[in-house]
Structure 1
Amino acid sequence: MESLDFKGRWDIIKGRIKEEHPDLTDEDLSYEEGKEEDVYGRFQQRFGKSREEIQDWFNKLDKR
């Protein structure tokens, strides 16, 4: 997901992530413009997946 896309779609993706993982905190789901790498890093740490796997997951959630 490109930065511009990420910025515009994060609230939708975040809601879908929260549906699948209600245990995630607001801090886990926080996003600051221009800091997409922080989001990917948090999810990589939390789920033990690669950046590409997280990015694919976000893209799938965005297309639902």
Structure 2
Amino acid sequence: MDTKDFHERWPEMKELIKTAHPNVKEEDLQVEFGKEVELLEKLQMKLGKTKAEIYEWLSIMG
């Protein structure tokens, strides 16, 4: 998934994340163009997952 696809799908993916992980807040899921890596790092910390797990999870959702 490229950056454009990511941002197009992000609203839907964001809702899935919030449903699956109620401890993740809206502000944890804010992302700007060019700052996608920072978002993924934040999710890693918040969810206690590896980078590979986060990427795999997002690729399954998207």
With normalisation by structure 2, the TM-score equals: 0.84
**Partner in structure 2 of residue 30 of structure 1:** 30
Matches of 1:51 and 1:2 in 2, distance apart?
Answer: 17
Matches of 2:14 and 2:42 in 1, distance apart?
Answer: 13
Q: Percent identity?
A: 37
Gaps of 5+ in 1: none
What aligned pairs does 1:35-54 form with structure 2 within 5 A after superposition? 35-54=35-54
- What is the CA distance between 1:41 and its match in structure 2? 0.5
Matches of 2:52 and 2:58 in 1, distance apart?
Answer: 10
Gaps of 5+ in 2: none
Q: How many pairs are equivalent?
A: 62
With normalisation by structure 1, the TM-score equals: 0.82
- What is the CA distance between 1:48 and its match in structure 2? 2.4
**Partner in structure 1 of residue 11 of structure 2:** 11
